[in-house]
Each structure stands twice: as C-alpha cells, then as structure tokens.
Amino acid sequence: MANQRARSKIASGTLVVLVAATLPGCFPYLTSYVYLDGPGVTYKRSPCYDGAPVGVAYEKNSVRFEVTLEPHALSPLKQAYLKVRAPRSAAISIPEPTALITFRGQGKPTSVHLQAAPLDWQGPYVEEMRRKSPLAEYRFVFIDLPSIDSPGTLKLPIVVADGAVLESPIFTFERRSYAGIVPLNC
C-alpha cells in the first residue's frame, strides 16, 4: 500500500513537472509548405511565430498584393488566395479573374487555369476594421487548385487600378520542408 502511494505520488509529480515545463515552453514541429518567390516580394509568415514563409506580398502603384497557394493553419482563409488592398478612392477591377499555374513535374509542363472567385469575408470586427482603414480590401480564393506536389510557376490575373493595368510578376513555387519551434500559447 505504501509502495502504491509512493508510485502514485511520483507519477503525479512527474505529470506536474511535465505540464509546468511545457506551459511556458515551446514545441518543435515539422511541416511542409508551398514556397512562393518572385522579383520584389516580401515573405508573409504566420502571424504567431517566425515560421515558414507561407505567402508573398508586393506593391505596384500604391496597390498592395498578397498571395499564397497554401495558407497557414491560423489563417481565416483556408484556400489559396489573392488579397488586393488599395486606397478607398481607387477604382479596382479584375477583368479576367483567372490565374495560370504551370507545373514543371515529371514529363512535360502541365498548365491549369484557376478561377479567382471574389470572397466577401466576414468575421468578428471586420466591419469596424473596414470603416477605420484607409484601404479597401478585395479577397479572391482560387477554386479547384490541384495538389501541389511538383514545382512550377504562377501568373496572377491582371488587376486594373484607376485605369492602370497592373501585371503581377511571374512567381515560382515549390514544396519545401520546414522545422521550427512554436510557442504553446500561440
């Protein structure tokens, strides 16, 4: 009986030490992600930690663009997307909302046209953020994006801002591995 109590105390103590050690700590993780690259881009990372670069951003004529082919786990958008942010006074249009993705996998290149469907994103505090922001935001999700298992290129649809045609750079992409440490309280 005394032996059983001692073992129970040791097990309880071990559990308390393990929980106490991990609460303020961090956990290692390994993941794969789609790495996008292009001229003049900055890399977008998960907002909670300095993780894998899950997307890119760039700017043309005061219009800001953000694109990803595979959003991170904390993103409210679970599909590949294009965000366009422009001054509220700018007239923005996408005459042909189709992106072109070309895979350079086994054999010859395969091209796929992706429909960029507008998304009226709603969430907590979204309306208040929209009213306060000097920028209007347009979100598009890519419909029927195939699995990305081989490298390739991405050409986004042309965006017209106040009559000016804004062509995106041609992005390259590939699947990569990433190992990192994420804080538990993230």
pLDDT tens for each residue of 3-47: 556 555 554 555 444 454 454 556 666 778 899 999 999 998 765
pTM reported for the whole predicted model = 0.75
Res. 177 pLDDT band, cuts 50 70 90: confident
* C-alpha separations of 30 from 52, 124, 176, 180, 186 in Å: 10, 31, 11, 7, 16
Residue 180 has pLDDT above 80, yes or no: no
| 116 beta partners | 142
Q: Are strands 63-68 and 152-155 parallel, antiparallel or unpaired?
A: unpaired
* Alpha carbons 134 and 145: distance in angstroms, whole number: 32
* Alpha carbons 180 and 51: distance in angstroms, whole number: 7
Alpha helices in 87-183 (DSSP H): 126-132
pLDDT tens for each residue of 41-65: 999 876 555 677 888 999 999 999 9
Residue 103 has pLDDT above 70, yes or no: yes
